[in-house]
Amino acid sequence: MKFVFEKRKTQLKRLLFLIPFISFVGSLFLSGLLLLAFKTNPLMVYGAMFKGAFGNWFNFQETLVKAIPLMLAGCGVIIAFRMRFWNIGAEGQLVMGGIFAAWVSLFLIDFIPPWLVLPAAFTAALIGGGLWAGIPAILKAKLGVDETLTSLMLNYVAIIFCQYLYNVVWIDPNGYGFPGSKIFDKAAWLPRLTGRVHLGLIFALIIALVLWFMLKKTKWGFELKIIGESPMTAKYLGINIPKNIIIALFISGGISGIAGMGEVTGIAHRLTHGLDMGYGFTAIIIAWMSQLNPIAAIFVSILMSVLLVGGDQVQRTMGLPSAIGLLLQGMILFPLLAGALFSEYRVKSIKSIGEAVK
Partner 1 sequence: MKKKLYWLILIISALTFLTGCQKKTDVSDSGDKAAVEQTEKFKIAFIYIGAPGDLGWTYEHYRGKQMIETKYGSKVETVHIEDVPEGPDASRVIRQYAQEGYNMIFTTSFGYMDPTVEVAAEFPEVYFEHCSGYKTADNLSTYFGKMYQPRYLSGLVAGSMTKSNIIGYVAAFPIPEVTRGINAFTIGVRKVNPDAVVKVIWTSTWYNPTQEREAAVALLDAGADIIAQHQDTTEPQKAAMERGKLSIGYDSDMGSFVGETVLTSPVWNWGAYYTRTVGEALEGTWKSESYWGGLKEGVVELAKMSPLVPADVVSLVETETAKIISGSWDVFDGPIKDQDGNILAAEGESIDAGKLLSQSFFVEGVDGKLK
Partner 2 sequence: MIGLITSLLAITISAGTSLLYATIGEIYTERSGILNLGIEGMMLMGAVTSFAVSYYTNSLFLALLIAMVVTAFMALIHAFLTITMKANQVVSGLSITIFGTGLSSFLGKRLGPESNNFNLYGVNGKNFPDIQVPLVGDWPIFSAILNQDILTYIAYLIIPLAWFFMYKTKKGLNLRAVGENPRTAEAMGINVIRTRYIYTVIGGMFAGIGGAHLALAYTPGWNEHITGGRGWIVIALVIFAMWNPGKAILGTLLFGGINAIQFRLQAAGTDIPASLLNMLPYLVTVLALVLLTVYENYGKRKIGAPSALGKPYMKEDK
Which parts of this chain interact with partner 1 (CB under 8 A)? 13-14, 17-18, 21, 24, 43-44, 46-48, 50-51, 55-56, 58-59, 62, 65-66, 163, 167-168, 176-179, 183, 196, 263, 267-270, 272-275, 277, 299, 309, 312, 315-317, 322
**CA dist list (Å): 236 to 142, 161, 220, 240, 339:** 19, 42, 16, 10, 33
The residue (of 240 and 322) whose beta carbon lies closer to partner 1 is 322
Between CA 217 and CA 6, with CA 292 as vertex, the angle to 5 degrees is: 100
Integer-rounded Cα radius of gyration of the chain? 22
Which partner, partner 1, partner 2, none, binds residue 273 by CB below 5 to 8 Å per kind?
partner 1
207 binding partner (options partner 2, partner 1, none; Cβ < 5 to 8 Å by kind): none
**Which residue of 75, 281, 303, 313 would you call a contact of partner 2, by CB under 8 A?**
281
- Alpha carbon 193 to its chain's center: 22
Q: Which does 139 bind (CB under 5 to 8 A by kind): partner 2, partner 1, none?
A: partner 2
Q: What is the largest CA-CA distance in the chain?
A: 87
- Nearest distance, CB of residue 289 and partner 1, angstroms: 13
Q: Which stretch binds partner 2 (CB under 8 A): 47-55, 126-134, 249-257, 330-338?
A: 330-338
Helices (H), ranges, the chain: 13-37, 42-54, 57-82, 90-106, 114-138, 147-164, 200-217, 219-229, 231-236, 241-261, 279-289, 294-318, 324-331, 333-344, 353-357
Complex with partner 1: residue 206 or 323, whichever CB lies closer = 323
Q: What gap in Å lies between CA 244 and CA 142, rounded to an integer? A: 12
Question: Which of 65, 75, 88, 101 lies at the binding interface for partner 2 (CB under 8 A)?
Answer: 88
Distances (CA, A) of 150 to 89, 129, 146, 153, 154: 8, 15, 7, 5, 6
CB of 209 to partner 1, least distance (A): 15
| Minimum gap (Å) between residue 18 Cβ and partner 1 | 7
Short-list 336, 85, 78, CA closest to 215: 78
Least distance to partner 2, CB of residue 203, Å: 25
Residue 65 has, within 13 A of its CA and on its CB side, a CA count of 22
Which residues of the shown chain bind partner 2 in the complex (CB under 8 A)?
A: 4-7, 34, 38, 86, 88, 135, 139, 143-146, 148-150, 152-154, 156-157, 160-161, 163-164, 167-168, 278, 281-282, 284-285, 288, 321, 323-334, 337-338, 340-341, 344-345
